[in-house]
Amino acid sequence: MTKNTIVLLAVLAIALPGKAALAQARTDDVGEKLVNDFVTDVITLQGRFEQSLIDAGGAVIERSSGTLEIERPGRFHWAYSEPYEQLLVADGLNIWSYDVDLAQVTVKGQAKALANTPALLLGGDKDAIAQFRFDGSMVEKGTTWVRMIPVDTKSGFERMELGFIGGELSRMVFFDNLDQKTLVSLYDVTTNEPIDAERFEFSVPEDADLVGVPVVAEATSP
């Protein structure tokens, strides 16, 4: 999906827990409950994010930031403001990616684009958790880290680690199959507050080119 994919988002201020550490200090029941509660109880989420993409050698390839709005099931508005302006909108049927600098919109069917990705846990329904398995959890410096691995080995990412502080999701780390990782920090988060439905609608700007064909909802019988 152009420059930023929904695999999301700031270099963490603490050292990330390694696999050995997770194995040594398991709090599996607590960690699993945190994820289950997040998927089941958090219907809307709004806040700011910071994101860094790190290569296999530990170098920061790209930093970005912006705002996000999520409403289950299957709708989100993810707006990048730095270092360039880009918008990702999921309306329940399609994902629209608008690159302002390129004046280009890319659209993909949402079900296929998000299948077996971390975005399912962020904005999918409660059944999305079945596409992942828990692989241990631990508490480090006040953060409970939970490691999850996709059931589908062809999903494009190796694992993700979700960090909870005070029971709230605050950090995410996604490891892809190219030994790169995306680090995410969330700020000023509010949950279960109403979000205007128009935030999850997208119209292609007149001066933008459209790449792809949007999925159209099937007509219902009278």
Give 99's strand partners: 86, 104
When pLDDT is averaged across residues 78-82 and rounded to a whole number, the result is 93
Q: Find tokens 């999903």 and name the residue.
A: 155
- Residue 127: DSSP 8-state: G
pLDDT of residue 179: 85
Residue in this structure with the two tokens 């399609």, named with its chain if needed: 94
Domain chopping of the chain, boundaries: 19-192
Report how far residue 136's alpha carbon sits from residue 166's, in angstroms, rounded to the nearest whole number: 19
- Does 39 have pLDDT greater than 50? yes
| CB-based contacts of 204, cutoff 8 Å, min separation 6 | 96, 105, 210
Q: What is the pLDDT of residue 214?
A: 93
Report DSSP state, residue 178. T
Domain 19-192 fold: outer membrane lipoprotein receptor (LolB), chain A (2.50.20)
Residue 160 and residue 34 in contact, taking contact as beta carbons nearer than 8 Å:
no
| Closest by Cα among 58, 35, 25, 39 to 148 | 35
Mean pLDDT, the chain, integer = 82
Nearest 5°: the CA angle 88, 91, 93 is: 115
What is the separation, in whole angstroms, between the first and last Cα of the chain? 37
Whether the pLDDT of residue 68 is over 50: the answer is yes
In the predicted model, is pLDDT for residue 7 greater than 70?
A: no
